[in-house]
Amino acid sequence: MHLIPIPAFSDNYIWALHDGQRALVVDPGEANGVARWLEQQGLRLDTILITHHHADHTGGVAELREATGARVIGPIVEPMPEPLQRVGEGETVEVLGLRFDVIEVPGHTAGHIAYYTPDMDGTPLLFCGDTLFSGGCGRLFEGTPAQMLNSLTRLAALPAATRVCCTHEYTLSNLKFAQAVEPGNADLLAYIERCKAQRAQNFPTLPSSIGLEKHINPFLRTREPAVVRSALAHEPGTTDDEVAVFATLREWKNVFK
């Protein structure tokens, strides 16, 4: 099985999996790049997975479905390009011989879902849309800090080796913020250097892994003393409660330059 990020727009990745014949794509915000890739590789599009309703994740779905007849799978409660199969918490979907668990991760949007397979060629794999980014997390457009924290906590509980396929190349700007929160985090410093080298050659910084994110992503580290201290220093009126720390970090990041 092969895992490929197809670049789209300025910083999206449309993640694709294929077995040499059939392909799966996740969140195709546009159709052209995917169609070109399918043709170059001689692949048939089998399935489209959608994590949430934003246009940069769904804009190419109708065109690709029409051109290829691919099956479309997406979340239960979001406006979606019909027709599609809607799936929710606890359901599984079989694609290209892989079994994906559906995990509901509200916060960025109200009905956002993630797709997790425990075994893709021996390693777990997660498609998490705009919920978890490397070094960061999605903005709270439709959910509360408590919801998003709960969603991220569930993803952080997946095996450390889980490859994390995020939809945006936001890593370097996220890490700038992470460094402001945790200037003394040595793992973070090393990771920043690695990501800068990757981007200098125009390579993706993704996929990340759950194990790595737990060491460098402040939004997964809201119980770390250094992170709590930074949040309290930034917003002195709040408490060290995990949700309050998370809310402070998220608002701080929204205005961070």
Q: Catalytic site residues?
A: 52, 54, 56-57, 108, 130, 168
Among 130, 169, 182, 213, binds Zn ion (CB under 5 A): 130
Which residues in the 62-91 window bind Zn ion by CB under 5 A?
Answer: none
* Residue with tokens 């997406």, as numbered in its chain: 74
Could you give the CA distance from residue 19 to residue 212 in angstroms, rounded to a whole number? 27
Which distant-in-sequence residues (6+ apart) come within 8 Å of 44 by Cβ?
Answer: 21, 22, 23, 38, 68
Output 177 or 185, the one with its CB closest to Zn ion: 177
Residue 127 has which token pair?
């498609």
Q: How far is the CB of 138 from Zn ion (least distance, A)?
A: 6
In single-letter form, the type of residue at position 249 comes to L
Output 78 or 130, the one with its CB closest to Zn ion: 130
Tell me which H or E stretch contains 2. strand 2-8
What is the SS3 assignment for 167? coil
Count of residues that bind Zn ion according to CB under 5 A: 3
Output 102 or 188, the one with its CB closest to Zn ion: 102
Cis amide linkage into residue 207, ω under 30° from 0: yes
- Each residue 132-171 as x (binds Zn ion by CB under 5 A) or -, in order, gives ----------------------------------------
Q: How far is the CB of 194 from Zn ion (least distance, A)?
A: 24
Q: How far is the CB of 79 from Zn ion (least distance, A)?
A: 13
Could you give the CA distance from residue 112 to residue 256 in angstroms, rounded to a whole number? 25
Which residues in the 169-198 window bind Zn ion by CB under 5 A?
Answer: none
Output 64 or 140, the one with its CB closest to Zn ion: 140
Q: Strand pairing partners for 166?
A: 129
Question: CA-CA distances (angstroms) from residue 4 to 36, 98, 116?
Answer: 14, 16, 16
Could you give the CA distance from residue 123 to residue 210 in angstroms, rounded to a whole number? 12
Which residues in the 38-57 window bind Zn ion by CB under 5 A?
Answer: 54, 56
**Considering the rule CB under 5 A, would residue 104 count as an interface residue with Zn ion?**
no
Could you give the CA distance from residue 145 to residue 137 in angstroms, rounded to a whole number? 11
Q: How far is the CB of 168 from Zn ion (least distance, A)?
A: 6
Could you give the CA distance from residue 165 to residue 230 in angstroms, rounded to a whole number? 28
Output 68 or 131, the one with its CB closest to Zn ion: 131
Question: Which stretch in 32-40, 97-105, 125-133, 182-190 sits in contact with Zn ion by CB under 5 A?
Answer: 125-133
Output 54 or 65, the one with its CB closest to Zn ion: 54
Identify the DSSP state of 191: H
Question: Which stretch in 89-97, 126-134, 154-162, 227-235 sits in contact with Zn ion by CB under 5 A?
Answer: 126-134
Which chain residues interact with Zn ion by CB under 5 A? 54, 56, 130
